[in-house]
Chains A and B, each alone.
Chain A
Amino acid sequence: MALIQVRNLVKKFDGRDVLKGVSIDLYKGQAKVLMGTSGCGKSTLLRCLNLLVQPTSGQVIFKGEDITLPGVDVRKVRGEIGFVFQHFALYRHLTVEENVTLGLRKIKKIKSREASEKASYELNRVGMFEHRNKYPAQLSGGQKQRAAIVRALAMDPDVLFLDEPTSALDPQMSREVVTVINRLFLDNITMFCVTHDAFLAKYISDSIVFMDDGVIVAEDIAERLFYESADPRIKQFFMSVADHR
């Protein structure tokens, strides 16, 4: 059974249909990338999956439970889903290490010392250990995003959501982050990533889902979708992404 099953998900904002009946599955150990033009509903879909945005209708079945039903412990669900934001969203009054340990101590109720050891281990994995005592304002964009990824991963989530993780970065910093996410992909971390970055998509995905105007148009492996798709929307999108790069 899929870790996440999305069935006929609809989201309306002010009467406008942003998601028009989306269905998708994500299996344990799978890495899926969601691509599409700006405003097609990608980020909304991602946020509906951990209920940061409440869907209008449809089902989101996470570990066998429909989390859109009333009475579901939303915070518990969110605690099992790591979320990485486009603009990092690090807590600016806390050091890198404190950013990582806060959730461990306050949500997972892990003792400070153990949390600190866990943070050190995870930060070391992404080359951020030496920056552990720095504050977010003292880091480069790439370092901030790596810290944000560690903060999410340290909670041992069942799945990691990444919302445009490289969009706010220059090409060099973007490469740093792609390298880290690629390592997670090779470690079989379950991931669902929204991006416009074709380079990132290619190196971190088992399959790519293409969305347009609130519906899923196609799902395939990167090479076939990039180079062989006959759908004019997909062709046009990847041409514009390639031009942009």
Chain B
Amino acid sequence: MTFPDIMIILARGAGYTILVTIASVSAGLAAGLFLSVLGTLRWKAVSFFLGAYTYVFRSIPVLVLLFLVFFGLPGLGIRISPFVSIVLTLGLISGAYLAEIFRGAMAGVGQDEILAAEASGMNRMQVFLYIIFPQMFRMSIPGMINEFTTVLKYTPFAYTVGIPEIMKEAMSLAVMTLRGLEIYLALGIIYFIIYRLFVMLFMTLEKKYRIPGLAPE
């Protein structure tokens, strides 16, 4: 078995890695956005909940939370698939980080612009949709790239609940062939390629939505 053969075999498992990453980041984006919008309400109970959520999910190790979801929830009669378990776990964790990223970006939106939108007769939803969100999204892209990278690096945990992603494929192959060096080197290269592809995608997005005259061209 040559090195390219190893690369091809592992690349087949890359589909799951990409799927888990995209699904987890999407769940994280939804959770982060929801939490950051909730934070704008400035209610004491909500602020406490948000603080607690961020604190808890940023401090629990990924594997502990994943096992809690996959092996723990059935004890309460809740059975969820391995795929949903990893997406839920990574989504909850990245949601906590993304909420902070969105919160910071939201604070960067000019108060005078919000006031001008209110003065023109927009309601709160319109102000959010047309003034706050488009700017918040643009300002969050660098933070989102970071968070995406983190989620990608967490995806190997998916093998612990039986998802046949790239890490699991690599481990099986290493056991069968005893060529650990080449296999894990190929694995690293594939992760790097996936990472680069996604970073290029995000950079294209950032460039497309860059505000002329405001950020460096």
Contacts and interface: CB of A to CB of B under 8 A. Distances in A.
Given A92-B135, A93-B138, A79 B113 contact: no
A53 B212 CA distance: 33
A91 B120 contact: no
A118 interface: no
Nearest to B131: A91
Nearest to A52: B119
B122 interface: yes
A244 interface: no
B204 interface: no
A91 B113 contact: yes
B119 A78 contact: yes
A245 interface: no
A5 to B, nearest CB: 21
B126 interface: yes
Contact of A138 (B112, B123, B131, B213): B213
A63 interface: no
B211 A92 contact: yes
Given A78-B119, A107-B121, A137 B130 contact: no
Interface string B89-121: 000000000000000000000101101111111
A107 B117 CA distance: 10
A89 B122 contact: no
Contact of B130 (A80, A85, A106): A106
A137 B126 CA distance: 23
B211 A137 contact: yes
Interface in A48-97: 50, 52, 75-81, 83, 85, 87-93
A52 B131 contact: no
B134 interface: yes
Interface string A194-218: 0000000000000000000000000
A32 to B, nearest CB: 19
19 contacts: A50-B119, A52-B119, A77-B121, A79-B120, A83-B119, A85-B116, A87-B112, A90-B113, A90-B116, A91-B117, A91-B131, A92-B113, A92-B135, A92-B211, A93-B134, A106-B130, A135-B214, A138-B213, A152-B120
Which 5 A/B pairs are nearest by Cβ-Cβ distance? A137-B213, A79-B121, A89-B116, A138-B213, A89-B112
